[in-house]
Amino acid sequence: MLRYKYQHTKIVAAEFYKPFLTFLDMPGDFGLNSSTTLLACCGAGGPPYNYDFNAGCGLPGVKACADPSQALHWDGFYLTESAYRAITVGWLHGPYADPPILHIAR
């Protein structure tokens, strides 16, 4: 409806939650470790989430995982760089944006 009403503009609908759910469903397809999908890479407390509100990343005793590129969650709040990269690629080229951003930037 907005595209019809404002034909002189370029409107993109971008998904964030959908790719996140896809990462949870098929972590291996994105190079993520399926056995640690719910664990924070940088955290404390161990399974199931490796998250402790009082032990934030950077505090004494809190360590990062060996390979953050295989983790979905960085610290229990934010995703890892590799997860954000996959979302960004999906926004630029599809399928997580309609139309993909690079299609309208030409």
**pTM metric for this prediction:** 0.88
Residue 105's pLDDT is: 76
- Encode pLDDT of 37-58 as tens digits: 999 999 999 999 999 999 999 9
Bridge partner list, 13 = 98
Please give the average pLDDT of every successive group of 10 residues along the chain, which has 106 residues: 86 96 96 94 95 93 95 96 97 97 87
Buried b (16+ CB within 10 A) or exposed e, 63-87: eebeeeebbbbbbbeebbebbeebb
